[in-house]
């Protein structure tokens, strides 16, 4: 199939590369500087294996780049739109980028027979887009095909998805979409467009709800000396619940969950419905960083002038994305309390904030620190030389915001003089000297 795909952000680029890998002829469209970078194989996102796969499909001639959407879609069987749909300050979704793309096609009075919306859009958007194309004399069916890609495992999620959802009106559109995904083994859910649009929001809201539920239960565990990992593995063993997305920690971040929760709440408001469950999910998440700061203060006393080493800046491992990262909230709160921050991340080398020194080694970041906090569950943090790292610190206090460290490493930590290990939703552990001092 000849597919033109507009938008080479996270979703667009991964989709373009994967559809090309499936053997389709893909033309990816974006602004000039972005396309120039891609032609030099310079990606502004960090996703395992993407660079190599992009080079492969490009060399095979299945993927080309363009800056002119009209030219790129002249012979296309379908146009896919994967541009950003950010939240406006009033809580509504900004569809400006989608409108810009379609306006160019309306202006040229040409459009492929199918426009597939991959961007996350509010319910009813595809109906409206199709009506505006029709009003411009273009007989195009607008189809909704949501993405469920996780950053850090996006290629795998694309090629081996749990399900594929098509929101379409006619059997012709369904046939075209099935052809596009030919070669991927997954259950296909076909429904009308409004339901498909809601599947995307409801899925992210549900995942965020699972995380907030675990975080809420972690507070209960801390109060009663129970262990959240045992509680949630017992809960998640029920097949009706499932074991994933039940890890308690510093809360969810990233560009999707908060944005989509907000958009779904606004969707509810538009029809006069409040969605209190979603409000509670967001509220629990907002309490995560203040709770971490409260733990620090209870162990330090006065936080003013203390130095905190932060391990992990990106919102999750295997990405350099810092959008809505819990790290940013932590940084703002540290600034408010007069806490100095030194951070290290395996891939993020800078953050556009003055109040942090980003260092190129976890050990340099730990120098003279009064505590270290693990904010992102990069697996390599479990492999650090923890006894050495603790010796570099002023105070050997470890907050494990992701319950990352295995018991062997925790044993090494609490073997050190005065060391304290503070996990989430589990009792803290101390060296015998630290215990004696607190008695
Ligand atoms: C999320 C969804 O998982 C994807 O299905 C969806 O396509 C994507 O949003 C989107 O809408 O584009 P993503 O934001 O890349 O994907 O990352 P997740 O793996 O979902 O993690 C989100 C946040 O939740 C991270 O900060 C992660 O650390 C946190 N998390 C995840 C937890 O705190 N606990 C968990 O058990 C799982």
pLDDT digits (tens, 9 = 90+) for 356-388: 999 999 999 999 999 999 999 999 999 999 999
For the chain, give the percent of residues with pLDDT over 90: 91
β-strand partners of 25 = 2
Catalytic residue among 18, 111, 126, 256: 256
Ligand 1 pocket residue status of 148, Cβ below 6 Å: yes
Ligand 1 atom with the smallest distance to the CA of 246 is 36
Between the two ends of the chain, the Cα-to-Cα distance in Å is 72
Q: How far is the CA of 154 from the centre of ligand 1 (A)?
A: 11
Distance CA 65, CA 34 (A): 10
The set of residues, in sequence order, having a beta carbon less than 8 Å from that of 341 and lying 6+ positions away, is 307, 308, 310, 330, 331, 334, 355, 356, 357
Given this model, what pLDDT does residue 70 score? 97
**Residue that has been written with the tokens 């979409």 in this structure:** 177
Instruction: Determine which residue's CA is closest to atom 18 belonging to ligand 1.
Output: 150
Distance CA 226, CA 1 (A): 55
Instruction: Determine which residue's CA is closest to atom 16 belonging to ligand 1.
Output: 150
Query: Could you tell me if 24 and 180 are in contact, meaning their C-beta atoms sit under 8 angstroms apart?
Result: yes
Given this model, what pLDDT does residue 439 score? 58
Ligand 1 atom with the smallest distance to the CA of 200 is 11
Backbone φ and ψ for 158, nearest 5 degrees, come out as -70, -45
Q: Global pTM?
A: 0.95
Ligand 1 pocket residue status of 257, Cβ below 6 Å: yes
Given this model, what pLDDT does residue 252 score? 98
Pocket test for ligand 1, best of 11, 211, 287 (most atoms within 8 A of CB): 211
* 128-148 average pLDDT score: 97
The set of residues, in sequence order, having a beta carbon less than 8 Å from that of 150 and lying 6+ positions away, is 157
Is residue 335 exposed (0-12), middle (13-18) or buried (19+ Cβ within 10 Å)?
A: middle
Given this model, what pLDDT does residue 436 score? 79
Q: How far is the CA of 247 from the centre of ligand 1 (A)?
A: 11
């Amino acid at each position: 199939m000849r597919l033109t795909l507009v938008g080479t952000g996270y979703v667009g680029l991964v989709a373009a590369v994967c559809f090309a890998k499936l053997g389709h002829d893909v033309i990816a469209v974006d602004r000039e500087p972005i396309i120039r970078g891609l032609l030099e194989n310079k990606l502004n996102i960090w996703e395992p294996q993407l660079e190599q796969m992009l080079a492969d499909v490009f060399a095979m001639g299945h993927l080309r780049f363009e800056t002119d959407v009209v030219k790129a879609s002249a012979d296309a069987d379908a146009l896919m739109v994967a541009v950003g749909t950010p939240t406006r300050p009033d809580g509504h979704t900004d569809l400006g980028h989608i409108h810009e793309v379609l306006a160019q096609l309306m202006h040229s009075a040409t459009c492929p027979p199918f426009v597939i919306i991959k961007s996350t859009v509010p319910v009813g958007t595809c109906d409206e887009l199709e009506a505006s194309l029709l009003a411009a004399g273009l007989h195009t069916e607008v189809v909704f095909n949501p993405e469920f890609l996780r950053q850090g495992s996006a290629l795998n999620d694309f090629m081996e998805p749990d399900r594929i959802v098509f929101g379409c009106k006619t059997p012709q559109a369904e046939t075209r979409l099935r052809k596009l995904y030919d070669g991927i083994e997954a259950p296909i859910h076909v429904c009308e467009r409004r339901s498909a649009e809601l599947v995307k929001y409801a899925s992210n809201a549900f995942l965020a709800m699972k995380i907030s539920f675990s975080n809420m239960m972690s507070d209960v565990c801390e109060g009663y000396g129970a262990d959240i990992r045992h509680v949630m593995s017992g809960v998640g063993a029920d097949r009706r619940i499932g074991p994933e997305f039940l890890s308690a920690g510093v809360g969810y971040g990233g560009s999707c969950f908060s944005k989509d929760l907000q958009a779904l709440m606004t969707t509810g408001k538009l029809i006069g419905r409040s969605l209190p469950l979603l409000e509670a999910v967001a509220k629990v998440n907002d309490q995560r960083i203040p709770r971490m700061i409260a733990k620090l203060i209870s162990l330090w006393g006065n936080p003013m002038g203390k130095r905190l080493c932060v391990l992990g800046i990106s919102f999750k491992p295997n990405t350099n994305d810092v959008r809505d990262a819990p790290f940013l909230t932590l940084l703002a709160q540290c600034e408010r309390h007069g806490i100095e921050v030194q951070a290290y991340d395996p891939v993020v080398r800078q953050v556009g904030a003055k109040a942090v020194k980003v260092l190129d080694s976890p050990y340099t970041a730990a120098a003279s620190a009064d505590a270290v906090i693990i904010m992102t569950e990069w697996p390599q943090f479990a492999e650090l030389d923890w006894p050495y790292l603790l010796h570099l610190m002023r105070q050997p206090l470890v907050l494990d915001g992701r319950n990352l460290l295995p018991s062997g490493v925790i044993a090494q930590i609490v073997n050190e003089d005065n060391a304290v290990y503070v996990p989430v939703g589990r009792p803290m552990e101390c060296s015998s000297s630290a215990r004696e001092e607190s008695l």
